[in-house]
Structure 1
């Protein structure tokens, strides 16, 4: 079924257009972003059942106007015919205050927009709002009960299903844009009790999908339990530099942390990203091509336009090892006088837009996983991301990985190490990439923060890659 813009946004659209008309009498530029997003989160484990609203559910509006070589924004929760005069007055008074305090150190040019009108939605199989909460909970309970029957040493199993149906509308003098899409996530974490403590395996599922995502959990839950059982015999890693093969999950972690945050161009303006001095220079192996874009792939980082009304794009960040471009929001593109990439995203309608990643990944290559493993005398196949941290100013990266499978003489030995810390200097790590697989996977199971806040849904991934890095 095709998702369409919500009835609520259809209902208030004439009122928003009336407010926009009045704003354009006062300002050279005005736009309104309208958001109506709602969803649910379901959680089941051995002793608990939880059901609640999705954290990012919201309904509201954001007006943006251009005045005194800068932009001013005003958020509001409701609109009616009677409230339009007071809203207009509030925006005018607040924008005057902003002008008097002269908050912006950067002077922006007035936005010149191309005319564009569309209403787009995504296709899904089973809309979660068409399925009762009771039925979804019972499905999760069934998965949990079957897992407990499958493995007698299972201490517990956590299963979560989360969806958010996003409806957004953007109007200005030249644009009338509507979009409807869904972000779905599911997580399975089995816990195995052992003499070495409690071991767990995190398995995520994601995508522009409906309730059909639950079928994926059913197919993978026993495999997740089997890997958790393997971790019971995991050994401690001996620190050193090794040849490694990264699974698509770890490849995505490297892409996200290494050259994702590092090419967010609002960091260029603040002189907090080393990458701004390396455009058109080699920063990776010629085997590495990296992209970011809401239309570069179809995953949980996808949309048709961003939160500033900029059309979604597909940006080549690294092309055959050469750093080609960063990503930006509208104001950053304006200040740097570069083309907008449509990466202006807000945690919510009443928060500031920042340059944010969407779908960030390394392109696939020509090798196979077996060829990559066979090429290693001694090293590891690393899998399952636990956390990541980057330093865009100095290009350092540190990632916590849950699984490292030993490779000796071109074969997996069956020996497993956990947990593992992967560290390195980003250009050294990426320049060491010597093989890239044909396989390709994306995962959009998490939220990315700007520093420690401003969370948005993103995806990352890619192929298996062979490289050198330090493990400890």
Structure 2
């Protein structure tokens, strides 16, 4: 991508004002983004993005610049711009590079750029046909196909020189059901660290029908009652509530600044002993997995909470300096336009011993959240607000009628403490996570679990 001698010169230039560490991140990305709507391709965006980011540290301070000019003059100029923001006394010239290719944890069989668009469109049409024929109330289907090949080089003044290839593939299916009075949308968006083989092996019948079924179910649902209820949250993407309300609070990005509800609580009981919370970037081919992070460090299985005890945080290099903690392979960024910071990969609650049937049967009265939607959270306090895409009432230990318009309102650390049953059916769901270093692929996951009480927003009436 760039030769070692040039990269070494760029790092040397970045250190000329007394910085004690410099890093170069080179990216060359190919991307396809197709949208099928009304049975035909409505949008087709293909592109290549090449750029270089340069970062310099001086103690706990850092400066970051980037450029799309990869000439020698352009790179040295960008390095000087970063250096000018640093005023230090370090005498660092940079260690000799130790070249390494990132280990291939995730097997890729068909690179996206080698596949004709006609094959991709055929898969999209098949998904649209399945969803469209699910029920006569389905009025529209949108299918989005995204694939990306990102080639990176990460080099720094400590001698690291790592090259990596990342491949992501994802399909999003949105089905709209409508009648004379209402319109509802169902959504499913599976993804993986795989090539085109992901789409060829995808169970379109399952995902397309589920998207349509959610829409049809919500079309005939009553408004959700409001109040405080026990809430059963199903597996897979149900984990988004803990990703947002707890996971972000365990990232060093907020912990190092003391702006996290979990700061300075390592060793404390922060959840019941049935809760173990893990971030693992090494799971083969999962959507949030990585070969190396965006600082060139190997990913690892980070047990954040074990049997209710807070064990540690997700740490990047800069915040690791502040916290006097080693990085955990958690430095991530969307692209060369962003400096990396601590981010999640595949984050999930480990399976427990209860079956989903037992959890439902032991709930006399409450809400069953089958599919979660989007939401917002304040990492400093853990306060959150989430939509439920598909919800049901629970009465006398059984799933009752569907309800719509449900939201969950609460506080992440408090919700974590009120988990009282954890199922044995761990599942993962693909999503995109936005934060200081941009939008990145992450998996959220959990088994079916029950929270003893959450405030549910909806219409005020008895459930």
TM-score (norm 2): 0.87
2:422 paired with 1:432: no
Partner of 2:103: 120
- Deviations for 1:155-190, whole angstroms, at most 9, x for unmatched residues? 101111111112112223522212212122111111
Contact 1:120 1:180 in 2 (8 A): no
Aligned partners of 2:97, 2:303: CA distance in 1, in Å? 23
| Larger deviation, residues 179-188 vs 113-122 | 113-122
Q: Distance in 1 between matches of 2:363 and 2:95?
A: 54
Task: Tell me, yes or no, if structure 1 residue 354 matches structure 2 residue 341.
Answer: yes
Q: Following the alignment from structure 1 to structure 2, what is the Cα–Cα distance between the partners of residues 458 and 129?
A: 23
Matched, 1:213 2:186: no
* SS of equivalent residue, structure 2 residue 102: strand
Does the aligned pair in 2 maintain the 1:344–1:355 contact within 8 Å?
A: yes
- Does 1:88 find its partner at 2:73? no
CA–CA separation in structure 1 for the residues paired with 2:7 and 2:67: 15
Q: Is the 8 A contact 2:57 2:86 kept in 1?
A: no
Which residues of structure 2 form unaligned runs of 5+?
458-463
Aligned to 1:3: none
Aligned length: 448
Task: Give 1:423 deviation, angstroms.
Answer: 1.5
Residues 294, 244 of structure 1: CA spacing in aligned structure 2 closer, same or farther, 3 A cutoff? Answer: same
Residue 279 (structure 1) shift = 2.3
1:32 matches 2:24: yes
Q: Secondary structure at the match of 2:190?
A: strand
Gaps of 5+ in 1: 1-8
**Does the CA-based 8 Å contact 1:183-1:207 persist in structure 2?**
yes
CA contact (8 A) 2:237 2:444 kept: no
**Partner Cα separation in structure 2 for residue 68 and residue 281 of structure 1:** 30
Equivalent residue in structure 2 for 1:201, among 175, 179, 186: 186
User: In 1, Cα distance between the equivalents of 2:144 and 2:11?
Assistant: 45
Q: Deviations over 1:205-235 (max 9, x none)?
A: 1111223333322333223323322222211
Cα separation, 1, equivalents of 2:432 and 2:207 = 23
Q: Please give the alpha-carbon distance, in whole angstroms, between the structure 1 residues aligned to 2:326 and 2:97.
A: 13
8 Å CA contact 1:249–1:385 kept in 2: the answer is no
Cα distance in 1, alignment partners of residues 280 and 307 from structure 2: 18
Superimposed CA distance per residue, residues 349-407 of structure 1 (whole angstroms, 9 cap, x where no aligned partner): 13222222221111111211111111111222212222111122222221111221222
Q: Deviations over 1:440-461 (max 9, x none)?
A: 11122x321127x822221111
Encode CA deviations 1:258-281: one digit per residue, 9 max, x unaligned. Answer: 211111222133332121032221
Whole-Å Cα distance in 2 between the matches of residues 316 and 15 of structure 1?
39
1:333 Cα deviation from its structure 2 partner: 0.3
From 39, 55, 75, the equivalent of 1:64 is 55
- Write the distance in 2 (CA, Å) between the matches of 1:232 and 1:179: 46
Secondary structure class of the residue paired with 1:170: strand
2:461 maps to: none
**RMSD of aligned alpha carbons:** 3.0
In 2, Cα distance between the equivalents of 1:281 and 1:189?
A: 42
Pair 250,309 (structure 1): closer, same or farther in 2 beyond 3 Å: closer
Cα distance, 1:15 vs structure 2: 5.5
Change (3 A) 1:278 1:114: farther
Change (3 A) 1:88 1:281: same
Matched, 1:403 2:403: no
Instruction: Give the match's secondary structure for 1:239.
Output: strand
Q: Deviations over 1:89-135 (max 9, x none)?
A: 5523x2453136x9xxxx9x999999673333331343322321122
Give the counterpart of 2:41 among 41, 49, 52: 49
Provide the residue aligned with 1:412 in structure 2.
399
**1:155 and 2:145 aligned:** no
Aligned pairs (5 A) from 1:374-393: 374-393=361-380
Match of 1:164 among 148, 151, 166: 148
Structure 1 residue 54, shift from structure 2 partner:
6.1
**Does residue 19 in structure 1 map to residue 5 in structure 2?**
no
Corresponding position of 2:460: none
| TM-score (norm. length: structure 1) | 0.86
Classify 1:113/1:274 alpha carbon distance in 2 versus 1 (closer, same or farther; 3 Å).
farther
> Cα 1:99–1:311, aligned 2, differ >3 Å: closer, same or farther?
same
Q: Is the 8 A contact 2:177 2:185 kept in 1?
A: yes
Residues 295 and 304 in structure 1, CA contact (< 8 A), matched pair in contact too: yes
Distance 2:119 2:438 in 1: 33
